[in-house]
Amino acid sequence: MSKVQTGQIIEFYSNTCKVLVTNKEYKCQIQGRIDLVVGDLVEIEQKEELDNSQAVVIRRLKRNTALFKAKENIKKAVAANISHIGILVTINPKTNLEFIDKWITIGINSKIQPFIIFNKIDSVSKGTFDEMRKLYKKIHIPSFVISAKYKTNLENLISYLSKQTSIFVGNSGAGKSTLTSSLTGKEILSKSLSNNQGVHTTSISTLYETVNMIKVIDSPGIRDIDINYLTNDQILLGFKEIYYLSRKCSFPNCGHDNDKGCAVIDGLKNDEIQQSRYNNFMALKKRIN
């Protein structure tokens, strides 16, 4: 007699996956053509002809959230049921503000809370990140200043991520694997890039869980996510301060680029909007048009 149980995908391959049910892992085949990614909640069925540690995924449960990437106007999920996106920011390699604002925009439109992790404080002078922290504090984006390598200032971050499922994004060499290892206590395999710009994980998509009830998804699929599947209105949602002022523009089709009666341009002149945020808003709009 078969037995149906509910679990979560913690490793995903091309046509098989590993599912955690309570404290037991099952190697699973996939029944039919079910769109699955790491983080998905699924129903699995143990069948008599299979080993005790094997099962078949028969159904995917509804996703609370998902991250997507798009190619030729086809959206494809890369990870699911994420609550937080941690944007790693470093001086070396340098993280530009457009990268930060892009991921804030993706997070907001995915109903996933974005936050910023200023990493590698062991290699910069005190106060290096202060101005950037002030910039994003004004728009209510939480931030943390840490050294993932030396596990400096991790306490507040651990408390923030408790009982949450997070995914970390950042440039190659920003410390995603190091931070995941520091939080989970598990060594995340990595190798040097051929152009010596840093490291990247070589593992399959994996969900790790710590004793602090922190879940971290490490997925190679998020490296090349862009915003080409978003609309102009969705990009505007990623810039709350611009969105609120845009509702005061004289004309509904305002392009916010020196248009007559534009409240956004007025807000920029009055320092209600930071220049970098406005520049990145316009840059992201151009990338989809």
pTM over 0.95: no
In this structure, which CATH number among 3.30.70.1290, 3.40.50.300, 1.10.10.10, 3.30.565.10 belongs to the domain 66-222? 3.40.50.300
Q: For the segment 114-141, what is each residue's pLDDT rounded down to a tens digit? A: 999 999 999 999 999 999 999 999 999 9
Per-residue b or e along 2-40, where b marks 16 or more CB atoms closer than 10 Å to that residue's CB: eeeeebbbbbbeeeebbbeeeeeebebebeeeeebbbbb
CATH topology of domain 232-288: Ribonucleotide Reductase Protein R1; domain 1 (1.10.40)
Question: ∠116-122-126 over CA atoms, to 5°?
Answer: 75
Q: Are 178 and 149 in contact (CB under 8 A)?
A: yes
Please indicate whether the domains covering 3-60 and 66-222 agree at the CATH topology level.
Answer: no
Radius of gyration in angstroms for the set of CA atoms belonging to the chain, rounded to a whole number: 21
Q: For the segment 173-220, what is each residue's pLDDT rounded down to a tens digit? A: 999 999 999 998 887 765 444 334 444 434 589 999 987 899 999 988
Q: Averaged over 81-108, what is the pLDDT?
A: 97
d(CA 125, CA 59): 52
CATH topology of domain 3-60: OB fold (Dihydrolipoamide Acetyltransferase, E2P) (2.40.50)
Beta bridge partners of 199: 192
d(CA 263, CA 256): 8
